[in-house]
Structure 1
């Protein structure tokens, strides 16, 4: 009797868990930019490895379509993509996962000749800031006073505004600042500039506010929790040399 009851409970758990492939989902299309070390176009990167660990054991095929964030949001709204990787803020008509895929400081790239002495985030008071279009929002800097904001289509263009002395600081993730430096065509001496942390943010995958979006979100979160519990997720972060987020509160 005890053995029969144990088997029955196990069967109920297996059939009720969205992580066991009972959702009917066979393919997942993920939209978003190609970010170095996160979503490299050769299929490598932190996010790619996480998605592989989440979906491949369930025999779910993952397709990644590379595009700007704004277009990726629209693809999900139109039902042409299932997920977006990743966003640090809420987006109209879409929903964030409950737990992030990545947590990191964001930084300011600036000239000490324009901002001195450097006193941390408060040194941005009264300054002109520039960032990639859609990557940051003025509300993230509401604690600062008399700050001007400008957006540009690319990180290298935003970086150039600081190098040319037209803006005081370029705001971005440190990995994306490095990418912008590599792509910048302007001649300048890197030692004439500084990069300092000015805040921390979390990055979440986005889903549609639909029945399918809810199902996929629940499946993703269930699998992420399992990968956290069995140590797989931490190994992926270690592989890419990124700090491991605090997943202890994620269920």
Structure 2
């Protein structure tokens, strides 16, 4: 009888401890991207991650910071995850197995310049700008006159005034600027510079590993079910990252 009582107590203690140990929320740090990581919790990316973690009844929480700070926070284990890193960009974090988006990097310049786009060599020696901390220079093999900018509208003004030859940015952000008429689309030429997968990065600790495992388990199911593609269609985003078999389109 005593052995049965002891076994029951051990079972209850183990069950209670396991229940208490269950992760109930995931804390993100992310840059603000319009219609992707909105400050009110709406946007394509928040919907994707909310769908992934809702399957395990894990609540999504987030704070908005500049890109460099958001990445620093996950590397310092101040948050569980951060949004939008290329494969291998950092070596002190955990990367999701599947990307969540395809990052198409665009080059924007004035049509009136009459520039013939011939790929990367076209920007050699030119004044090329991008948003601060985006480190595009790590992926450019030619020398350019780098200009880091705080806001996109600043970049387009500099292009129009001749203080900048080219502006590099994600296709999504360029499209939003034009669709919402923040800039006059007819003035600018947009070319594709490169494309690569965007991954979630997790804190390199036990909690981060557990949250990564949840993503790695649920994301493939949601991709194959068509639910992730439906979110891209809902938000009108053309950079869905997967083929019909659920494999990433881009190679890292």
TM-score range (shorter-chain normalised) is 0.7 to 0.9
The equivalent position to 2:82 in structure 1, one of 55, 63, 84, is 84
Q: How does 1:147-166 map to 2 (within 5 A)?
A: 147-166=144-163
Taking the aligned partners of 1:177 and 1:88, their CA distance within structure 2 comes to 19
Taking the aligned partners of 1:43 and 1:234, their CA distance within structure 2 comes to 20
The equivalent position to 2:240 in structure 1, one of 235, 240, 244, is 244
- TM score, norm. by length of structure 1: 0.78
Provide the secondary structure at the position in 2 that maps to 1:58.
coil
The equivalent position to 1:230 in structure 2, one of 214, 225, 240, is 225
**Is this contact kept in 2: 1:159–1:180, CA < 8 A?**
no
Measured after TM superposition, the shift of residue 205 of structure 1 is 1.1
Measured after TM superposition, the shift of residue 127 of structure 1 is 1.8
Measured after TM superposition, the shift of residue 80 of structure 1 is 2.7
Q: Which residue of 1 aligns with 2:9?
A: none
Q: How does 1:70-219 map to 2 (within 5 A)?
A: 70-88=68-86, 90-91=89-90, 93-114=92-113, 116-142=115-141, 145-179=142-176, 190-219=185-214
**Is this contact kept in 2: 1:156–1:183, CA < 8 A?**
no
Across the aligned residues of Structure 1 and Structure 2, the Cα RMSD in angstroms comes to 2.6
- CA distance 1:115–1:94, change in 2 (3 Å): farther
Taking the aligned partners of 1:66 and 1:173, their CA distance within structure 2 comes to 19
Q: How does 1:43-62 map to 2 (within 5 A)?
A: 43-62=41-60
The equivalent position to 2:29 in structure 1, one of 28, 31, 35, is 31
Provide the secondary structure at the position in 1 that maps to 2:28.
strand
Q: Which residue of 1 aligns with 2:5?
A: none
Which sections of structure 1, spanning at least 5 residues, go unmatched?
1-20
**Is this contact kept in 1: 2:107–2:167, CA < 8 A?**
yes
Measured after TM superposition, the shift of residue 139 of structure 1 is 2.4
Provide the secondary structure at the position in 1 that maps to 2:35.
coil
Flag as ranges the 4+ runs of structure 1 deviating above 4 A.
178-184
Provide the secondary structure at the position in 2 that maps to 1:118.
coil
